[in-house]
Structure 1
Amino acid sequence: MRRADRLFQIVQYLRGGRLVTAAQLADRLEVTTRTVYRDVADLIGSGVPIEGEAGVGYLMRDGYDLPPLMFTKDEIVALVAGARMIRAWGGAEMGRAAEEALVKIESVLPDEARLRAARVKIDAFSVFAMDEAMRMLVDRLEAACDQQIKLALGYSDAEGEVTQRDIRPLGLLFWGRTWTLAAYCEKRQDFRMFRLDRMDHVEERGPFKDEKGKTYRDFFARKRPEM
């Protein structure tokens, strides 16, 4: 669950003046109590009228409503343009989700902001090989990165030689025409980037946990100067 969604859920659970403990919130949200303490402190700091303390419980008096969703004009342009780009070049589920997100956002925008969203003159079209199979692969690899699932795949290098790789998928990178997967390669014992259009028979190999020197942050620390 994204942190923004988690904060929203905490507010919902505390509505109505009921005392709710951090342990109960942690159980519902599937996080640690320490995470709940931090999230509640951030909500209080942002002005949400939550009462209580760690070890006792929290409550929120009746009458509090979340503030309406507001964006600046520049933020609206960025959201609309980004959604259209994902629709053109992203995964199949990503594209549908981007469209649905825009509908939800527009439904809560004031009239002037909604009209600004409709006037955005930025569009994107896929003229490259983004067929349905490639779009589904993008979705599948994004899910593997998010859920930290090891993958086994066949991979063709620039000369067409195919090798078998066991990798830890870390993140997807789009270069304006080609998608690549940033990963930690178990065979090479190092970070590698794999072009999606050179992959074959991708298979899941079970979960992995972050290890020092093998994370997405470590990848960028190493590769950013080259990129």
Structure 2
Amino acid sequence: MLRRGLTIMAEYIPRPCVFCGPSGSGKSTLIKQLMDEHKDTFGFSVSHTTRNPRPGEQDGVHYHYTTREKMELAISNGEFLEHAQFSGNMYGTSKRAVQDVLATKRICILDIDVQGVKSIKKTDLKPIYIFVKPPSIEVLEERLRGRKTDSEEAIQKRLATAIKELEYIDEETSANATFVVVNDDREVAYEKIKGILSTDIVKLRDIRFKAK
């Protein structure tokens, strides 16, 4: 029975989950809440970036910090699932980062932008897509200004990017394995996300139980 359970566990590879939404949508807060509540169920895919670490950020935890030269070489070698540029810096998800999470038999969470989603859709990853939207562009602007971390120019760039991202999200609403969550009330939005992922959470929990 034990051997059979271990075999089932070894063969099962949970579907990754891609989160996408404009800056200020509350996406990162919702991801953190999900991972805090289900520590053994989810694992976060740590992205690569060429930007410098911000105060308090740790290499390998918040990002894998690298140089443009190294990242461009890795991309040309086919080591990345997706990559994009924002504000002069490169960001991307390596295949290794996703594989490392899947190897622990956890649901791999990817936090990527629309450019990344378009790239992922060209691969054989076949994840669940959860798009997080603000209730309106006005609310989004209010949230961005409330941070008091960006210049006016940066805020305007984020808003322009957000408008394009929201247009894409609306187009993808009817796509297979694609869900849209409007983050007006954080707890309500969180419960919706848990509902979307409940089948996968329960399945992984059951398989782990049988493997004991």
Which structure: larger Rg?
1
Q: Same fold (TM over 0.5)?
A: no
Tell me which interval the TM-score lies in, with the shorter structure as reference length.
under 0.3
Query: What TM-score, normalized to structure 2?
Result: 0.23
Query: What TM-score, normalized to structure 1?
Result: 0.22
